[in-house]
């Protein structure tokens, strides 16, 4: 399959060749060079069309003089080296460009950005970080791309406070465009603080997270868990019920903690009312099973089983089916019990093989809720999977 970057190199090279040819035609003293230059260009283009990349690159390097008119071509060449995994060549090409005194300030920054990409690709995060930090001290057209690249470095290093600071301090960057990311950075700091039993710092960062994004479900779950750990069960339940308005898809994530809070408060009615509201508006397997557990405590397993069966008819769910089988196994003996246990083993294996969460951006799925997708690196795009095999 033809590489899009090679196509870009072809187009840039054609444009540069046309411009240089035009300029040379205006300079009669260079007429003899014109044929040589065009010859090298067409040789290079022929190599590219035949996907002989190494030969094409060598040909273009011979043909092109590094100056303001050919910088785009050399940048594309550097990108091509990087794409092919030849990082040392990419670094050398971009360092050679930077050594040219004829570059404008904007062109110099563009080449530095490419060099930062090279360093990061090579795993030289400290060099990339240092270069990008210097670039962001003055506003320029590529500031947003520079910020995103620097943020990717900080995220790899888990330098959350640095990530927050660069968004606020970078010249020519609108921090309002990064509110969603900022909220997650503050959540990361809050979780780190809680690991060190620093409740005050955790609360401070959670307040800042909500200030950036008041509908951030992650911050709500962290705060609810914090209040519960401090035995502030009523406050924890109040906080967790916000998810109903924030993003109902995550109600299932709050159910276990809510059950614990209402149980500690001896408030079965409070839990029943909330679950009933969720069941009417945003039904899920987690809500059904929590409701069934509540019914079992109040009315017994038989009524709980009847409730699950009714809900499965309305909204088929593998999790619901497993719960129904479990209830029947407890109240069955002999051969029927053995058959149910065999069925339960099969449905259990089926459920275990299915992912629980999926990124809405790239489709990455798994059994762990990643607030930052491991594949596309977007924040807050992973959600619980709904449907028969999910919630």
187 annotated ligand binder: no
Residues 6+ apart with CB under 8 A from 344: 322, 325, 326, 329
- DSSP secondary-structure letter at 386? P
Query: What CA–CA distance (Å, rounded) separates 351 from 346?
Result: 9
- Integer CA distances (angstroms), 75 to 2, 68, 108, 139, in order: 20, 12, 11, 21
Query: CB count, 10 Å around CB of 287?
Result: 24
Beta bridge partners of residue 358, listed in sequence order: 365, 383
261 annotated ligand binder: no
Residues 6+ apart with CB under 8 A from 41: 13, 14, 17, 60, 63
Query: What CA–CA distance (Å, rounded) separates 354 from 347?
Result: 11
User: At CA 279, angle to CA 278 and CA 284, rounded to 5?
Assistant: 95
373 annotated ligand binder: yes
Residues 6+ apart with CB under 8 A from 367: 355, 356, 357
228 annotated ligand binder: no
- Integer CA distances (angstroms), 188 to 163, 224, 227, 271, 366, in order: 11, 15, 18, 30, 21
Whether 153 and 124 have beta carbons less than 8 Å apart is answered as: no
Q: Residues within the annotated binding site?
A: 359, 362, 373, 376
Q: Residues within the annotated binding site for Fe cation?
A: 359, 362, 373, 376
């Amino acid at each position: 399959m033809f590489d899009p970057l090679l196509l870009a190199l072809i187009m840039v090279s054609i444009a540069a060749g046309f411009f240089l040819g035009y300029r040379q035609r205006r300079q009669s003293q260079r007429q003899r060079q014109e044929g040589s230059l065009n010859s090298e260009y067409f040789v290079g283009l022929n190599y590219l069309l035949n996907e002989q990349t190494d030969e094409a690159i060598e040909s273009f390097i011979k043909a092109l003089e590094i100056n303001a008119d050919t910088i785009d071509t050399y940048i594309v060449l550097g990108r091509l080296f990087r794409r092919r995994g030849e990082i040392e060549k990419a670094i050398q090409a971009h360092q050679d460009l930077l050594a040219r005194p004829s570059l404008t300030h904007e062109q110099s920054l563009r080449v530095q950005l490419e060099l930062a990409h090279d360093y990061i690709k090579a795993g030289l995060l400290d060099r990339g970080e240092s270069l990008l930090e210097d670039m962001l001290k003055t506003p320029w057209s590529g500031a947003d791309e520079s910020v995103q690249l620097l943020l990717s470095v900080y995220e790899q290093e888990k330098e959350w406070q640095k990530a927050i600071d660069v968004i606020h301090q970078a010249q020519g960057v609108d921090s309002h465009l990064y509110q969603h990311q900022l909220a997650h950075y503050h959540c990361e700091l809050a979780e780190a603080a809680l690991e060190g039993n620093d409740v005050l710092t955790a609360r401070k960062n959670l307040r800042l997270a909500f200030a950036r994004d008041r509908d951030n479900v992650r911050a709500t779950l962290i705060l609810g868990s914090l209040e519960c750990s401090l035995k502030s069960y009523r406050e924890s339940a109040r906080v967790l019920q916000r998810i109903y308005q924030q993003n109902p898809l995550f109600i299932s994530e709050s159910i276990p903690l809510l059950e614990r809070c209402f149980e500690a408060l001896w408030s079965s009615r409070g839990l029943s009312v909330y679950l009933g509201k969720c069941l009417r508006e945003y039904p899920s397997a987690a809500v059904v099973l929590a409701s069934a557990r509540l019914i079992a405590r109040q009315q017994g397993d038989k009524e709980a089983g009847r409730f699950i069966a009714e809900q499965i008819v309305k909204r088929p769910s593998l999790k619901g089916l497993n719960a129904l089988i479990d209830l029947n196994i407890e109240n069955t003996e002999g051969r029927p019990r053995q058959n149910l246990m065999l069925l339960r083993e099969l449905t259990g294996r089926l459920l275990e093989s299915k992912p629980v969460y999926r990124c809405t951006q790239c489709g990455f799925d798994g059994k762990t809720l990643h607030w930052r997708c491991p594949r596309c690196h977007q924040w807050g795009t992973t959600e619980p999977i709904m449907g028969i095999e999910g919630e």
